[in-house]
């Protein structure tokens, strides 16, 4: 909500809570890039996508992308997880490796 209103982690009234939220999300990320935390079976990919989007938005709003390398790393790993979990038919299921049948 803060990012959507134009606030960032770099400056302004909400910089500190935004940065804490970003750091918290990054700390939750697994080694393979997954950001969905303890989401249940049907929520895993949705949660991962939303968290990746939030970090990517924060990264894109920075004035200097080189200033917060851990954020860039987290976004990169989150996007790679999305790419790696795409099924052969071009879509995604509730979790990696799930099929329609």
Alpha helices in 10-61 (DSSP H): 15-28, 44-60
Q: Give this prediction's pTM.
A: 0.89
| Residues written for the chain | 101
Q: What is the pLDDT of residues 7-42, one digit of tens each?
A: 999 999 999 999 999 999 999 999 999 999 999 888
Distance CA 40, CA 74 (A): 22
């Amino acid at each position: 909500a803060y990012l959507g209103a134009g606030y960032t982690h770099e400056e302004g009234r909400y910089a500190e809570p935004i940065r804490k939220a970003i750091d918290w999300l990054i700390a939750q990320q697994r080694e393979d890039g997954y950001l969905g935390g303890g989401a249940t079976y049907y929520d895993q990919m949705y949660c991962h996508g939303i968290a990746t989007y939030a970090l990517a938005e924060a990264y894109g709003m920075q004035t200097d992308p080189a200033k917060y390398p851990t954020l860039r790393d987290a976004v990169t790993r989150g996007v790679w997880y999305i790419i790696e979990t795409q099924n052969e038919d071009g879509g995604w299921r509730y979790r990696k490796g799930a099929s329609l049948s």
